[in-house]
Structures are given as structure tokens and as C-alpha cells.
Amino acid sequence: MDTDSGARAVPEATDGTTAGPSSPGGPPPAIRLRGVTLGYGDRVVVGPGQPLDLDLPSGQTTAIIGANGCGKSTLLRGLTRQLPLLTGTLEVLGRSAEHWPARSYARTVALLPQSPVAPDGMTVEQLVDRGRHPHRGWFGARTATDTEAIARALELADLVELAGADVSELSGGQRQRAWLALVLAQQTPVVLLDEPTSYLDLSHQVELMDLVRSLPDPTVAGQRATVVAVLHELNVASRSADHVVAMAHGQVVAAGPPGQVLTPALLEEVYGLDADVVPDPLLGHPVVLPRTPADRLGA
């Protein structure tokens, strides 16, 4: 664990789904990075001082958390190949991503970016149809399989009645669900989401992440898709994720189950936040309770 940033290292999980190599005999990770650095020009944003090794578990939902500017979105851009690796290797489902044809990669990895914008005049159904382009090409005719996938995505995203609506006329939450429906129609085993709960109130954040958790892997019967989501709301991350990766200063400082990663010490290290962490009385996942000095004096 690198500590060049000055942050105290938090022990990682030892269940084979950690920032380091998987344990012998454990399931292979869906995504594996080794010796990775990412950045812009001469500025290294992810892996400064110590290149990044990271495994992300297959068939689970991983939340990437950390303060603004810590490298979360840059890491996600590296996973999508939108940002070339400066150093190191990326494997997805056991295959090197370096020479993977773009269209084939898009049938394997789907991305919902931050604040996407639809062309003027585009309807919800037309937007969702774009999720089928990796399967048939940009100019291919829509097939029965495409139509079925689009209808299913609209249903899952609760947008059937808005299929003919102009995307620009939707509320922020409806628009976010429309973009998620595009990802659903893409039907990939790996789904990457950059702040998918933006513009959503708390109830819709929970609904959306519950939907994300239920996405099936179209290539493995009975298995969930591998989801990697950058999230800011810690309690939504705790409730929704099987695996949490905490970042600070471009490094992974902890990785593992929410109950192991979301500790008062970690929150102080990553966010400079004084907080208590208690188990949810019904579901058992950790709940983060921020505190102020006045709270402590009144306790």
C-alpha cells in the first residue's frame, strides 16, 4: 500500500477482492489493473509515486468513493479506454484491453458518463436505441432482438410512457433514467457508471442503484453484471455496493466489503470527516453519521 500522499494506509480486505492480487483459488476478477498510471499530459492523476494494482470482483457492484479530485473519474475513464494508460496493463474478463477492437469492447463494457447530453430533438426511444449500435453498427437495420432489448430497457427504467418524449423536456431524474436505459439496452457483462445518481432525490437514488444491482450478465446464466460506479453519497454506496474502493490522492487506500472499508478512520483519512459509523438496524450495512465538534460536546 502506497503512503507517499501522507495518508495513513487502511488495511485492505483479504477475501480475494482487494486492491492487490486475488488470492489463489478465488474467482478471477472481472477487471484487473497492474502497474497502472493515468493522467493528462505530464500530470499523473492515478498512481502518482506508486503505480496502481487493482482487482474488481466479477458479478458484484463496486462503488468507488473519495473526495473530489482524488482520481475516481479518471480511473473510470481508463477502464473505458477513453483515456490511454500511461503505464501498466488492463485486463477485462481475462483479456487484455490493449488491442481489443472498439466495437467488440463496447459489447462487453458499457459506460454512463457524467452529465451526458442528447442531440436536440432526440426522443427517449431514439436515445435508448443507441445502446444497440455496438451490436448492429451505426447504420444497421433494427432487428427483433434490438426491439426486444429496447422495450425491456424502457420497462426496467420505468420510461415506457415517455418513450416518445423529447429527452430535453425530461426532468433531471427522468433524463438520468433515460441514459441508464441506453446502458441497459447495450446488454454488456460490465457496466461503468460515473455518478449515476446525479440529479436524483434520495428515493430515486436508491431505486436506481437497486436496479443497477439487479442487472444480469448476458453472458453467464444466473450471474449479475459486474458494475463499477463512482458514487458521492456514502450511505447509498454502503447500501448498494458489495465492494467499496476508497481513493485519496490518486491511490487506493482501502478496498473490500462496505463494513470493512467505511470506518471512522477511513472517513477522516479520505474526507477529513469526523463521523460515527453504525450498523443499519434492519439490513446491517454501515451507516455514516457525520459529527461536528458541537455534536461531540453535547454527547
pLDDT in tens, 197-218: 887 888 888 888 998 998 989 8
Rounded CA separation 5/269 (Å)? 11
Q: How confident is the model at residue 299 (pLDDT cuts 50, 70, 90)?
A: low
Domains and CATH numbers, the chain: 57-80+101-273 (3.40.50.300)
Question: How confident is the model at residue 22, as a pLDDT?
Answer: 52
- In whole angstroms, give the CA distance from residue 218 to residue 214: 12
Please report, rounded to a whole number, the percentage of residues in the chain having pLDDT higher than 90.
Answer: 73
Q: Residue 100 and residue 106: Cα distance in Å, rounded?
A: 10
**More confident: 114 or 263:** 263
> What local confidence, expressed as pLDDT, does residue 21 receive?
43
d(CA 291, CA 192): 32
Q: Do residues 243 and 251 touch, judged by C-beta distance below 8 A?
A: no
**pLDDT score at 26:** 65
Show the cell assigned to 227. 458494475
Instruction: State the Cα–Cα distance between residues 15 and 21, nearest whole angstrom.
Output: 10
Q: Is the pLDDT of residue 11 over 50?
A: no
Q: Could you count the other beta carbons within 10 Å of the beta carbon of residue 113?
A: 17
Question: Is residue 13's pLDDT more than 80?
Answer: no
Tens of pLDDT along 65-99? Answer: 999 999 999 999 999 999 999 999 999 999 999 98
From 150-164, 204-218, 219-233, the region with the lowest mean pLDDT: 204-218
Average of per-residue pLDDT across 142-168: 95
Mean pLDDT of 134-140: 85
Band the pLDDT of 268: cuts 50, 70, 90.
Answer: very high
Mean pLDDT (whole number) for 281-289: 93
d(CA 254, CA 263): 10
Question: What is the pLDDT at residue 19?
Answer: 59
Q: Which of 192, 154, 159, 161 is nearest to 174 (CA)?
A: 159
pLDDT for the residue 29: 96
Q: Is the pTM of this model over 0.85?
A: yes
Average pLDDT over residues 162-172: 94
108 pLDDT band (50/70/90 cuts)? Answer: very high
The rounded mean pLDDT for the chain is 89
Q: How many CA atoms lie within 13 A of 213 on its CB side?
A: 16
Name the least confident of 12-26, 123-137, 269-283: 12-26
Q: How far apart are CA 10 and CA 243, in angstroms?
A: 15
What share of the chain in percent tops pLDDT 70?
A: 91
More confident residue, 109 or 141: 109
Which cell numbers in the block locate residue 125? 426511444
